[in-house]
């Protein structure tokens, strides 16, 4: 038995193939039950996102995973072969760590993938597909991910625009001081930013958009205001984030000055729009701190260099963690061997016991029955080791003989 990873991702397969291979969340549990019905697969976790579909399994044969995926998607055996990758042992552990840490993401270091890995594991655990070995592996990976991201600084150098925006907001106002945020727009950028904001307890979020329905669909718990209410909203907020497709500035010199006169603290504005939503000339005003896409990109570029260094340090730690887990994984074979041997001996014992019991019930003398029982049990227990030793005398060397003596407990 060994740990295997079989799958495809955004690097190995085009979008059209990933679409075919993806397993929707509501189909994950049936898929997990299906894979456990395959001979030789003992445990499994399926990670399926828009960028990857991977199976993590304890199995006796890697080929079984490919066969299962072909059956799962009703494809011929080998259809996905040119797009898939396969890892086992240390390489499999290292791959899972890279995925969880974010090194295998489209945006290196992206923290959201860890949540997807945790969700996949939780589904497998609930479905009874993640047994003791994968449970141990994933728990260790979650602990190691946090350690590696902290030790290498990888988590401090994010590069996705939404996460960079979130970090920049924290540079402007400490989380424990953040009370009110104004979001202008209801597009993808704002949508990706909202989950980070929702981590802040009791944060008041005002969402301003031209279309009320879009804003309500995006965040129904927010205070929804029309675009005409923007000046009033900017008077009382800590930070305003702009990300609309307006071709004219929403905030100009003329509109901003009365707003700043009514404020007692600095107004932080993050303008993520192109064309810009905040007129560039207002940055000279006291009481305003303005950041735009150039500032975000500059920070991203600076962080990319740091991120590359962090990624190199992370790879070193990944290898160390992988080796440690592989040493544990190597004990799986011995555990299963011991269990299988005990099961086999117990089957022999039970068979001979039932034979002896039948003879006693027929009235045969107990001493004769016990004598016959002990001889039969000893002969059956010695049969296979004796046959193996007879075969090995002409094929194996002294090391094998020493191991056999140790196993049999003889000198």
Q: Which CATH architecture has domain 161-300?
A: 3-Layer(aba) Sandwich (3.40)
50 is catalytic: yes
Of 142, 188, 147, 146, the closest CA to residue 165 belongs to 188
In this model, does residue 190 exceed pLDDT 80? yes
The number of C-alpha atoms within 13 Å of 94 and in the hemisphere containing its C-beta is 15
More reliable by pLDDT, 25 or 288: 288
Of 316, 321, 337, 310, the closest CA to residue 92 belongs to 321
Q: What is the DSSP string of 168-224?
A: HHHHHS-GGG--EEEEE--SHHHHHHHHHHTTSTT-EEEEE-S-HHHHHHH-TTSEE
- What integer pLDDT is reported at residue 19 of this predicted model? 74
Confidence of residue 336 (pLDDT cuts 50, 70, 90): low
In this model, does residue 126 exceed pLDDT 90? yes
Rounded-to-integer distance, Cα 300 and Cα 296, Å: 6
Distance of CA 355 to the CA centre of its chain: 54
Rounded-to-integer distance, Cα 313 and Cα 293, Å: 29
How many residues comprise the chain?
A: 411
Supply the mean pLDDT for the chain.
85
More reliable by pLDDT, 21 or 303: 21
Rounded-to-integer distance, Cα 371 and Cα 356, Å: 10
In this model, does residue 224 exceed pLDDT 80? yes
Of 104, 102, 220, 95, the closest CA to residue 156 belongs to 102
Cβ-based neighbour number of residue 324 at 10 Å: 14
Rounded-to-integer distance, Cα 27 and Cα 21, Å: 12
Q: How far apart are the first and last CA of the chain?
A: 31
In this model, does residue 157 exceed pLDDT 70? no
In this model, does residue 260 exceed pLDDT 80? yes
Q: What is the DSSP string of 230-261?
A: HHHHHHH-SEEEE----SS-SB-HHHHHHHHH
Write the DSSP symbol of residue 147: H
- Those residues whose C-beta lies under 8 Å from the C-beta of residue 56, and which sit 6 or more positions away, are 3, 4, 5, 44, 45, 46, 47, 92, 96, 134, 137
More reliable by pLDDT, 268 or 398: 268
Give mean pLDDT, residues 317-323: 75
Give mean pLDDT, residues 252-266: 92
Among the listed residues 50, 53, 172, 269, the single catalytic one is 50
In this model, does residue 262 exceed pLDDT 90? yes
Residue 150, sorted as left (phi over 0), alpha (psi -120 to 50) or beta, turns out to be: alpha
In this model, does residue 134 exceed pLDDT 70? yes
For residue 87, the SS3 value is: strand
Rounded-to-integer distance, Cα 228 and Cα 210, Å: 9
Rounded-to-integer distance, Cα 70 and Cα 73, Å: 6
Confidence of residue 6 (pLDDT cuts 50, 70, 90): very high
More reliable by pLDDT, 51 or 50: 51
What global pTM score does this model have? Answer: 0.54
Beta strand 41-49 pairing with 52-59: antiparallel
Of 360, 404, 356, the closest CA to residue 384 belongs to 404
More reliable by pLDDT, 379 or 411: 379
> What residue spans define the domains of the chain?
2-156, 161-300, 331-408
Which tokens hold the place of 349?
Answer: 């014992």
Q: Return the exposure string of 169-184: e unless at least 16 CB atoms fall within 10 Å of the residue's CB, then b.
A: beebbeeeebeebbbb
295 burial level (CB within 10 Å; 0-12, 13-18, 19+): middle
- What integer pLDDT is reported at residue 159 of this predicted model? 64
Class of domain 2-156: alpha beta
For 7, phi then psi, to 5°, come to: 175, -170
- Those residues whose C-beta lies under 8 Å from the C-beta of residue 13, and which sit 6 or more positions away, are 21, 80, 83, 84
């Amino acid at each position: 038995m060994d740990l295997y990873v079989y799958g495809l991702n955004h690097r190995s397969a085009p979008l059209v193939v990933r679409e075919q291979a993806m397993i929707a969340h509501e189909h994950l549990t049936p898929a997990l039950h299906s894979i456990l019905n395959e001979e030789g697969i003992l445990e499994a976790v399926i990670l399926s996102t828009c960028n990857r579909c991977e199976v993590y399994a304890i199995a006796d044969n890697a080929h079984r995973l490919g066969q299962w995926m072909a059956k799962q998607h009703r494809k011929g055996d080998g259809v996905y072969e040119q797009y898939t990758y396969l890892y086992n042992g240390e390489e499999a552990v290292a791959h899972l760590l890279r995925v969880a840490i974010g090194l295998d993401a489209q945006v290196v270091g992206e923290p959201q993938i860890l949540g997807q890995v945790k969700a996949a594991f939780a589904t497998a655990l609930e479905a009874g597909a993640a047994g003791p070995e994968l449970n141990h592996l994933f728990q260790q990976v979650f602990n190691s991910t946090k350690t590696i991201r902290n030790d290498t600084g990888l988590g401090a150098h994010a590069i996705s625009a939404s996460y960079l925006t979130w970090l920049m907001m924290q540079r402007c106002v400490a989380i424990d001081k953040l009370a009110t945020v104004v979001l202008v727009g209801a597009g993808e950028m704002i949508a990706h930013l909202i989950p980070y904001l929702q981590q802040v307890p009791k944060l008041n979020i005002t969402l301003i958009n031209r279309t009320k329905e879009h804003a309500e669909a995006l965040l129904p718990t927010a205070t929804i205001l029309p675009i005409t209410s923007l000046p009033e909203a900017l008077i009382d907020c800590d930070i305003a984030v702009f990300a609309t497709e307006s071709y004219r500035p929403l905030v100009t010199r003329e509109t901003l000055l009365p707003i700043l006169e009514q404020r007692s603290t600095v107004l932080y504005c993050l303008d993520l729009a192109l064309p810009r939503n905040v007129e560039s000339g207002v940055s000279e005003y006291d009481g305003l701190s303005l950041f735009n896409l150039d500032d975000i990109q500059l920070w991203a570029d600076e962080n990319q260099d740091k991120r590359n260094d962090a990624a190199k340090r992370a790879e070193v730690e990944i290898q160390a963690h992988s080796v440690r887990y592989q040493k544990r994984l190597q004990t799986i074979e011995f555990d299963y061997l011991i269990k299988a041997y005990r099961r086999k001996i117990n089957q022999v014992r039970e068979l001979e016991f039932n034979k002896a019991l039948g003879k006693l019930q027929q009235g045969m003398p107990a001493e004769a029955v016990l004598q016959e029982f002990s001889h039969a049990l000893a002969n059956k227990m010695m049969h296979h080791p004796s046959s193996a030793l007879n075969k090995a005398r002409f094929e194996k060397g002294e090391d094998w003989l020493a191991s056999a003596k140790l196993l049999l407990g003889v000198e």
